[in-house]
Amino acid sequence: MNRKPIITCAVTGSGDTAAKHPELPKSPLEIATAAIDAAKAGAAIAHIHVREAESGKPSRDIELYRQVVGYIRDSDTDVILNLTTGMGGDLFLGPDEDPLKLAADTDCVGQMERMEHVEALRPEICSLDCGSFNYMGQNYVYVSTQTMLELGAKRLQEIGVKPELEVFDVGQIWFARHMIENGLIDSPPLFQVCLGIPWGAPANTRVFQTMVDELPDGCNWSGFAIGAMEMPMVAQAALLRGNVRVGLEDNLYLEKGVLATNAQLVERARKIVESMGAAVQSPAEARESLGLTAHH
């Protein structure tokens, strides 16, 4: 049991959720406000994606990130910033007779381009998705190759940003351990166990336990599941001695048919861990726990 978990709030994500939730944060100010509100509710870390303000379509525009980060840094909260680098890995293959005729939704760029906003803004943490896998959808592959990840990890080491190693299956933990063993990840490493994303690891107790058992000794880790399994896996993560993540990236609802805010999801997660006899970490405590030396 983790008696002092860290809560991460993933405030908006990049999924096709804007049409399903009218209050989903889309503009830089909305995303920053959601992150600040989540921090006031008990989140020590805000995991940030950006979107086009009007359409809500996911984006990797540096200027949008710059605005979000500026608003948060200028606020009265010291929440830890964790920027995604997952955008730019979407590969939509063409029809079976011509798979290399890529579909229009393809947005697949190199690792350095995926990290331009991290280079510019130097958050304390950024995500690093530790492998390619089939996403739900026809001919849709998320691409994150060994070469890309090794390049990315090396550069993050050079600029002093801690990668959060996002692992969607056990093989990705194996690869992350390979990077650690090869000196590309500074100690202590930070993992995020991602459950329920088709077609990665399913969100159930046995799979979660197995993935945690594969993590290297001495690492810090957090875990989450999407949809209706979000809150059950908050309890599971704390029981397994990990940290927790919630937010509208992972689940839109407080209960069936009732749309949530990020702050409400954080409050619910906090209530769960406090009901188990635990207390949540502040941003300052989380910085110490995770070995974040520089507060930019």
Residues 25-48, mean pLDDT to the nearest whole number: 98
Query: If one looks up domain 7-290 in CATH, what number appears?
Result: 3.20.20.70
Rg value, the chain, Cα: 18
Confidence check: pLDDT of 62 > 60 = yes
Confidence check: pLDDT of 178 > 50 = yes
Express each pLDDT in 112-158 by its tens digit.
999 999 999 999 999 999 999 999 889 999 999 999 999 999 999 99
In the chain, domain spans: 7-290
**In 74-221, where does DSSP find H-type helix?**
111-114, 116-121, 146-159, 170-181, 205-214
Express each pLDDT in 229-248 by its tens digit.
999 999 999 999 999 999 99
Residues 68-88, mean pLDDT to the nearest whole number: 97
Residues 6+ apart with CB under 8 A from 259: 21, 22, 23, 252, 253
Mean pLDDT of the chain: 96
Per cent of the chain over pLDDT 90 is 97
pLDDT band of residue 17 (cuts 50, 70, 90) is very high
pLDDT at 98: 97
Residues 6+ apart with CB under 8 A from 160: 122, 293, 294
pLDDT at 117: 98
Q: Which residue has the tokens 């760029």?
A: 109
pLDDT at 295: 47
Confidence check: pLDDT of 296 > 80 = no
Q: Which of 108-112, 179-183, 292-296 has the lowest mean pLDDT?
A: 292-296
Q: Tell me how far apart the terminal alpha carbons of the chain are, to the nearest angstrom.
A: 32
Record the pTM. 0.97
Query: Which is nearest to 247 in space by CA: 191, 114, 233?
Result: 233
Task: Calculate ∠ Cα 202-208-210, nearest 5°.
Answer: 110
Rounded to 5 degrees, φ, ψ at 191 are -115, 150
pLDDT at 102: 95
Express each pLDDT in 246-264 by its tens digit.
999 999 999 999 999 999 9
